Every structure is written in C-alpha cells, then in structure tokens.
Amino acid sequence: MFRIGQGYDVHRLVENCELRLGGVLIPYPLGLSGHSDADVLLHAICDALFGAVGAGDIGRHFPDSDPAHRGRSSREFLKAAGEIVKADGWSVSNIDATIITEKPKVAPYITEMCGNIAADLNISPVQVNIKATTTERLGFTGREEGIAALAVAMVTSEASE
C-alpha cells in the first residue's frame, strides 16, 4: 500500500539572514526570512510527508506562534516529520522536490542537500531527488524577492485498510 503527499513553501529573501536550503548553508548576500531558519525546501518536504500520512501540515506541528520554534533548524522539523511517518506505520519510499529561484544557483549544493534529507529521514540518498529551476524572471521568484519549493513524498506500508 502507498500514499502520496505534496508540499509547497515560500519565504522572502532579505538582508541580514542566512540562506539555508536542504540544511545546507549557501553563501549569498540575502537569506530567507521566517520564524525558524526558513528552509523552504525542508518545509515543503515536511508538508509532503505530513500530507502523505494525513497528519496536517508543518504549521500544525511547529506553529510560528510558538516562541520555542524561533530560529530553530528545519532539519529538526524534518526528523520529527520522519518520526511521525514511522509512528503511523509508514516508511518513506521517496522524496522528489524542486527549488524555484533565479539566484543563487543551487546546483552545486544538491548532492549535500540530498544527503542531509536522507540522513534526517534515515533513508538512502538515492531515495531523494532535488531539482532547481527558475521562472524565467517572472513573478516574485523571478524578481529575486523570494524562494519557493515544491515537494512530493511517497510512503509505503504493509498494512491494508
């Protein structure tokens, strides 16, 4: 048996913030603004995992109204999402995600991102696929105002409904 979930996240690019994508610190003059470390890629993956097992979304589990999550690493959120998936009797089959940004170019960091995600979910890096694209200078990502990410997760179980 399998289930699929999808996730989407966006954060604004601002000065005086670090840029983390897939748990990788990327040198860039702008970073993502958010309550946690604003890692849009990991947030989208968390939502995809939560969606696959019918567990709501990242805001339900890690609300930005909770001061305990201020500045928190999104890798902690991802690990917790993986534990929720497992506790519900599922295992992560694969993750496929897309980062949408004009700049910075993230291709040099994708292998490390896949490794981080795989380690945090206790799966093989071959089960994680990350891509990057632009919007051909259209929209908020094209104007370099923010970065978006899309993710799909498939989970499997031996159980039957």
Q: Could you state, in order of their start, the residue ranges of all structural domains in the chain?
A: 2-156
pLDDT of residue 67: 80
Asked whether the beta carbons of 119 and 42 are under 8 A apart, the reply is: no
CA distances from 33 to 47, 104, 148 (A): 19, 16, 12
Asked whether the beta carbons of 152 and 8 are under 8 A apart, the reply is: no
pTM: 0.94
Fold of 2-156: 60s Ribosomal Protein L30; Chain: A; (3.30.1330)
pLDDT of residue 59: 86
CA distances from 102 to 130, 139, 153 (A): 16, 10, 25
- Block mean pLDDT (10 aa), the chain, length 161: 97 96 97 94 98 93 83 93 96 98 96 98 98 96 96 85 48
